[in-house]
Structure 1
Amino acid sequence: MPSHPHFSGQTPSEWVTRFTALCAPGAEILDFASGAGRHARWLAGQGFSVLAADRDPAALAELAEVQGVHTLCADLEQGPWPWVAASFDAVVVTRYLFRPKLAELAALLRPGGVLIYETFMLGNERFGKPSNPDFLLRPDELFDWARSWGSVLAFEQGELTAPAPAMIQRICAVRADTSSRLP
């Protein structure tokens, strides 16, 4: 997916930093479709064990020396699925959507595991890329999907104005309702 000013730079998403507070120290976290690893770097800096997965070997190479980060170069859409169910304490996904793998993505969470997801939704085409509906969530799409397998702790959707205009949808959900505590 093309770069977008809302997700530019190395600063982690406030949504991600807020909800990783639900993860236990040392938790195993998958940064799915990590790109150059802005979240993988931050998560490792917080003491988490991070697996950054992406199809771009050049982007993953930038993480080679980051302590606490392991990388996996894999085609996350067409290639063989590289994990078994219940592999991670948390899964972080930002700026990425491939609907055919959503069920497998949720299955990666261990009981009590946390999903932190943030990406673009319909309406973003007014602001530029992405504009293809295949890469834009429909209203309430993450909420409806997460309710089918877990408990939704927080959900937001709508227009953000800073750092650049974007239509965003984001969710934090857990595999089992182990806590209703919000960070």
Structure 2
Amino acid sequence: MDRDAAALAPLRQELKEAEIIQADIEAGPWPLAGRAFDLVLVSNYLWRPLLPQIMAAVAPGGWLIYETFADGQQSIGRPARAEFLLQPGELLQACQGLRVIGYEDGFDSVNGRYVQRVAAVRSPSTENGVFQRYALPG
């Protein structure tokens, strides 16, 4: 999903079976209302008003993988504006209701930037009182 049609064009060519959505999620309605996914992946993006919708899009037994810039990045480059930088623990706080498997907050020396990243899973739903099972890779 992106608001830029030109950015989506190569994906439309390569990923024929994928659902590609052009939407301005900051100015328009959330285009995934009522939908949930086995994997929600967010990279280098932060718009705080959408955090609840992003978290709600994780299906029972589904995963959230989220990484974006954190406070401290302004000391070494862009983005530098506070509205684009997570405050300490902010991403972890947004994951309430999910089981956090891994979380990092600090300087990523490999990529030379300050980030917060999380891997979290929503508890599987129950059906007839029996938990649905899921397997972790590896």
| TM-score of the two chains, using structure 2 as the length reference | 0.85
User: 2:130 maps to which residue?
Assistant: none
> CA shift at 1:79, angstroms?
0.3
Report the Cα distance in structure 2 between the residues aligned to 1:121 and 1:92, rounded to whole angstroms: 17
Give deviations 1:93-136, integer Å, cap 9, x for gaps: 00000000100111111111100000000000111100001000
User: 1:135 maps to which residue?
Assistant: 84
Tell me if 1:65 matches 2:9: no
Larger CA Rg, structure 1 vs 2 = 2
> CA shift at 1:161, angstroms?
1.9
Give deviations 1:124-158, integer Å, cap 9, x for gaps: 01111000010000011111110x22110110111
Name stretches of at least 5 consecutive residues in structure 1 with no aligned partner: 1-52
Name stretches of at least 5 consecutive residues in structure 2 with no aligned partner: 125-132
Contact 1:109 1:115 in 2 (8 A): yes
User: 1:125 maps to which residue?
Assistant: 74
What is the number of equivalent residue pairs in this alignment? 129
CA RMSD, 1 decimal: 1.8
Contact 1:125 1:131 in 2 (8 A): yes
> CA shift at 1:179, angstroms?
6.3
Contact 1:153 1:173 in 2 (8 A): yes
Partner of 2:32: helix, strand, or coil? coil
Residue pairs, 1:18-97, within 5 angstroms: 53-67=1-15, 68-97=17-46
Tell me if 1:152 matches 2:118: no
Report the Cα distance in structure 1 between the residues aligned to 2:135 and 2:120, rounded to whole angstroms: 10
The amino acid that maps onto 2:110 is A
* Structure whose residues are more often helix by fraction: 1
Report the Cα distance in structure 2 between the residues aligned to 1:64 and 1:150, rounded to whole angstroms: 32
| TM-score of the two chains, using structure 1 as the length reference | 0.65
The amino acid that maps onto 1:173 is A
Tell me if 1:170 matches 2:117: yes
Contact 1:158 1:168 in 2 (8 A): yes
Report the Cα distance in structure 1 between the residues aligned to 2:122 and 2:35, rounded to whole angstroms: 10
Partner of 1:134: helix, strand, or coil? helix
> CA shift at 1:162, angstroms?
2.2
Report the Cα distance in structure 2 between the residues aligned to 1:70 and 1:142, rounded to whole angstroms: 27
Partner of 2:20: helix, strand, or coil? strand
Change (3 A) 1:133 1:82: same
Report the Cα distance in structure 1 between the residues aligned to 2:76 and 2:39, rounded to whole angstroms: 31
Change (3 A) 1:179 1:152: farther
